[in-house]
Structure 1
């Protein structure tokens, strides 16, 4: 099917596709068009990675906007990083009159500004929160795309996507749903749930050969072999990467932990270093410096060192900017190998010539040891092999040390069909939040109404009878009533005022109950540590692990600062409860360090985390403390001011005296400290202080100083008449006694979360 023959799209779009080299649709794309996606028909597209799923979505969305004359399309993604990537991809349609917006944060917002956009990209959590907050444009949707819909199988994110799709279809009975999925075992069942057609295909634009390396060769699924000898003392992975480099290709290596990703990248940097041209070395040196400027943590330096040699690691402990730089340089073939944890396989566009699945087991606490990855996850990794337009083929290789393991890998992964997608909605933690939201948002006002709504979910499609659903529903309703979030009278159920607030704030009701109980237990003004510990005890905060030796350390800290903690310390004989209490305390201590201006480098070293982990903890704490402030105000608990200050301190990463300064856009924690030590202690001082003093504190950077002065409202922010050299030499960096500011102080890259805002 020729793109020039497509009808129903905004004028100019077919021509644009042709100019991009898309003159003919791939077979799965053509099948989707024939199934009616451009006439409003719903569809599940279960096709391999790199087979053109995104264009299927674009054709559906663009034709919906054109067909409806004011219709609106929503593209739901599982990850924030993917939202930014898709927005950038869709923005090329703006010259044809299609406006694009993205929304991923602030769960309390109704996103009214999005009403003016034709195509909206958002995470499933954000869409769920928009529905809860009554975004009026939701009812105007004519098309919704669910990317990576197989993730309904994920115990954490899956229920939100499942319930959100059910709500959107309830609000818009004629809604067109396009669900994009990897090849799964029960795509027909997913299509039945969504009342959609099904396109299922194994077609790929580039041949993918999958096999197992054993001895000195790769044994492929088609019976062929490729010789890749492993020299004495050499590792299989290094031999495979070197072999790929010899052909001018890149490699993606999947390992099972962050530590292994970093160690593998360090080893493989010695392999890639030998293959670099002089021009690539220069470009990589610049990239390495940019990576160092992202954060003052050791992780930045470690990543920069391997990047300078053409290798990289990629995991959730990296700052988002780290990950973005690595992904971009890998796509541009500047970085030759990336060693990643499995998260990179979840939809981010990072194809390579060869994928090496080094580790096919990873630690699982519930399993009690190293557990084999599921087939779908390994197939997702393998699907990253082969770049359309760049690679003649793709290869995905698992590693075996002996013949028995090779046979096992062929049976377990290479020849195996991916598992069926199963709903995780019936788990009680998932039901707490979604059941309250169902009542608070007006989707149901009785037990029977709730069960009727739940009949729209995948869980109901996959389950015979209501018994399990009724059992979980009744248990959750009892919990919500006992904690004052819903009221029951006769057969009707309604959310209370506080229940509406909890739903709007996007809190797990158990988190809200923990926060409310803690705030009610306050005697006097709570301290920041007490508040941080309170929100770290909630299910909405991922706590740091207690490592060997931590129990003794944090038990001592617990009793030393027990008077600050909100609630009763569990008995040490209750191992689970006490360990959870201490893990929350460790997480709270990280937040207290951050809010006390301890350097990011020292924090990452002290707690064994990465810059991305610090940022994640801080952002989650901000959200939970903001929710705690609203709950305290609504319940008139008298702690709102203390909660607000604790929130601001963790938001900016500063001590109390810097709150005013750090709140100025462009200042952040490090610049605020320098200004304060130079005698500029407030916004008012910034508007009145001698410019040379300000410029000196800002290391002589005139543009930065002018931007900050403009943001604070200074009448004349210009630094034209100020001597930058004299100013830069006239100050020293101040600091609080006993605290290390860490690396990166002399650079303009303010390596702290406060400076990302």
Structure 2
């Protein structure tokens, strides 16, 4: 088995020990520092003032053009930005600066580009991509169709497009190296927290790693544009290896539930033993304060794993995924665990551990509404039936139960998408909330809610309605989001 990592680690021994490599001999473990690369790289870190994100991004466009002229006037350039909107804005500004530069190249198209570039550009689906491609600039983000992305990659690799403006996901996907890489901003908008947050340093390194084409270049250049106050941080830490930490605690509920469901774990002590073999246990011992442990001693690590397992199993019990039997075991802390029907369903269908109970409670509440909405009939009369309006409200309620599942907690609501959600809510039948089955005030438009259009579950509900009722989506980003919801 080969495990490939994209950046240097400060703790490669921990990972090697976990996957069974003999750390005493080190045979099978290779840890290369960032400076070890086939093509030497020159790095420039530039700071930009400004509290607000969008104006600061706009001030970076002219330095982007200057960097292209200075470091890569005739070689391919990759520019990484944080959003699909920024790909368009950056590409258009670069074209404007080029058009107004008397000493500029006149076009970013490659020397061999001609009628073939124009014919390919004319066949592209995205209007913004069609426009900028004719000037030798490409766009690459998840909102484009597969055909547009493949055509852009082909043109860039062939040299017809010399500048490619892409979102950061490209750094982890298609291999498109360039002579110059510009990281335009190190922040992105996190829809879940509703604010701009920093990329992990490993992501910035991954973007920079696209600089340099071993078969063509003897050197490469990377320009990292950051907010002024973060300039010294990146100068100091960009080439310092960071320790690899465990993310297991974020999904410990799903992992333990799956083991209980298949019978691997039957008690609290089984769960503690299971955790002791994880990468988490190794990192708790080496870096206890990061995980909230008292110390890295064997006793404190075991106490931490015991408390972690107990808390996770109690949460699974609260969400009706497991049953706890306190009659198992002799110690005060020991108890047995067994799976429930909801727990098995959660494991079988790869659901979050909160989802089955969420669906159960939602269905019960909807059933009560339907029961109360049924007209009362005499015992010898025909069974009562719901009115068409109540039936439709019931369907809307089912769709809302699905849209409000924990799986959609992180559906991205990007900057300024509240406006698109509000417009879409007026176009779909049920708005941002399902109407009550029994009639009464219609909350479907969300007038009484506090900013419902920024809620990821509301956006999911709107996308599902748009799909069912064949309503047009406001922007191409919503097409991609709709596919994500359906998947």
Taking structure 2 as the reference length, the TM-score comes to: 0.72
Matches within 5 A, 1:333-732: 333-364=159-190, 369-399=195-225, 409-413=234-238, 416-427=239-250, 430-464=251-285, 465-489=301-325, 490=328, 491-520=335-364, 521-522=366-367, 523=370, 528-541=395-408, 542-543=410-411, 545=413, 547=418, 557-558=431-432, 561-563=435-437, 579=452, 583-599=456-472, 603-605=473-475, 609-619=477-487
- Provide closer, same or farther for how the CA distance between residues 497 and 583 of structure 1 changes in structure 2, counting only shifts above 3 A: closer
What SS class does the counterpart of residue 30 from structure 2 fall into?
strand
- Provide closer, same or farther for how the CA distance between residues 393 and 492 of structure 1 changes in structure 2, counting only shifts above 3 A: same
CA shift for structure 1 position 610: 4.2
Aligned to 2:375: none
* CA distances 1:549-577 after superposition (whole Å, capped 9, x unpaired): 96899699457723399xx999x99989x
Contact 2:323 2:339 in 1 (8 A): yes
In structure 1, stretches of 5+ residues that fail to align are 1-142, 146-177, 216-232, 293-299, 620-757
- Provide closer, same or farther for how the CA distance between residues 505 and 336 of structure 1 changes in structure 2, counting only shifts above 3 A: same
* CA distances 1:653-711 after superposition (whole Å, capped 9, x unpaired): xxxxxxxxxxxxxxxxxxxxxxxxxxxxxxxxxxxxxxxxxxxxxxxxxxxxxxxxxxx
* CA distances 1:493-547 after superposition (whole Å, capped 9, x unpaired): 2223342222111111212222222223332757554333222111212435372
CA shift for structure 1 position 390: 2.3
What SS class does the counterpart of residue 488 from structure 1 fall into?
strand
* CA distances 1:181-201 after superposition (whole Å, capped 9, x unpaired): 421232222222222242012
Does the alignment pair 1:241 with 2:241?
Answer: no
- Provide closer, same or farther for how the CA distance between residues 379 and 540 of structure 1 changes in structure 2, counting only shifts above 3 A: same
CA shift for structure 1 position 275: 4.0
* CA distances 1:215-243 after superposition (whole Å, capped 9, x unpaired): 9xxxxxxxxxxxxxxxxx98111122234
Aligned pair count reads 406
Contact 1:312 1:338 in 2 (8 A): yes
RMSD in angstroms over aligned alpha carbons? 3.8
Whole-angstrom distance in 1 between the partners of 2:404 and 2:474 = 21
Aligned to 1:210: 43
Aligned to 1:263: 89
Whole-angstrom distance in 1 between the partners of 2:423 and 2:173 = 41
Contact 1:184 1:376 in 2 (8 A): no
CA shift for structure 1 position 439: 1.4
- Provide closer, same or farther for how the CA distance between residues 281 and 269 of structure 1 changes in structure 2, counting only shifts above 3 A: farther
Contact 2:10 2:241 in 1 (8 A): yes
Contact 1:276 1:310 in 2 (8 A): yes
Contact 1:358 1:399 in 2 (8 A): yes
CA shift for structure 1 position 584: 2.0
Higher relative contact order (CA 8 A, sep 6+): 2
CA shift for structure 1 position 320: 4.0
2:32 to 187, 191, 201: 201
- Provide closer, same or farther for how the CA distance between residues 214 and 422 of structure 1 changes in structure 2, counting only shifts above 3 A: closer
* CA distances 1:354-387 after superposition (whole Å, capped 9, x unpaired): 1011212334578885444332221111111011
Whole-angstrom distance in 1 between the partners of 2:119 and 2:94 = 20
Contact 2:191 2:411 in 1 (8 A): no
Whole-angstrom distance in 1 between the partners of 2:16 and 2:339 = 33
Whole-angstrom distance in 2 between the partners of 1:610 and 1:498 = 32
Q: Greater shift after overlay, 468-477 or 418-427? A: 468-477
Whole-angstrom distance in 1 between the partners of 2:481 and 2:223 = 31
- Provide closer, same or farther for how the CA distance between residues 562 and 277 of structure 1 changes in structure 2, counting only shifts above 3 A: same
- Provide closer, same or farther for how the CA distance between residues 321 and 419 of structure 1 changes in structure 2, counting only shifts above 3 A: farther
Contact 1:554 1:585 in 2 (8 A): no
Aligned to 1:735: none
CA shift for structure 1 position 583: 4.2
Whole-angstrom distance in 2 between the partners of 1:543 and 1:374 = 20
Whole-angstrom distance in 2 between the partners of 1:418 and 1:279 = 42
1:304 to 130, 134, 154: 130
Aligned to 1:151: none
In structure 2, stretches of 5+ residues that fail to align are 22-27, 49-59, 99-104, 286-300, 329-334, 371-385
Whole-angstrom distance in 1 between the partners of 2:273 and 2:447 = 44
Whole-angstrom distance in 1 between the partners of 2:182 and 2:358 = 45
Whole-angstrom distance in 2 between the partners of 1:204 and 1:553 = 49
- Provide closer, same or farther for how the CA distance between residues 373 and 304 of structure 1 changes in structure 2, counting only shifts above 3 A: same
* CA distances 1:138-159 after superposition (whole Å, capped 9, x unpaired): xxxxx4x4xxxxxxxxxxxxxx
Whole-angstrom distance in 2 between the partners of 1:478 and 1:278 = 66
Whole-angstrom distance in 2 between the partners of 1:475 and 1:401 = 40
Whole-angstrom distance in 2 between the partners of 1:214 and 1:450 = 49
- Provide closer, same or farther for how the CA distance between residues 492 and 548 of structure 1 changes in structure 2, counting only shifts above 3 A: same
Contact 1:355 1:397 in 2 (8 A): yes
Whole-angstrom distance in 1 between the partners of 2:220 and 2:434 = 58
- Provide closer, same or farther for how the CA distance between residues 559 and 401 of structure 1 changes in structure 2, counting only shifts above 3 A: closer
Whole-angstrom distance in 1 between the partners of 2:353 and 2:61 = 54
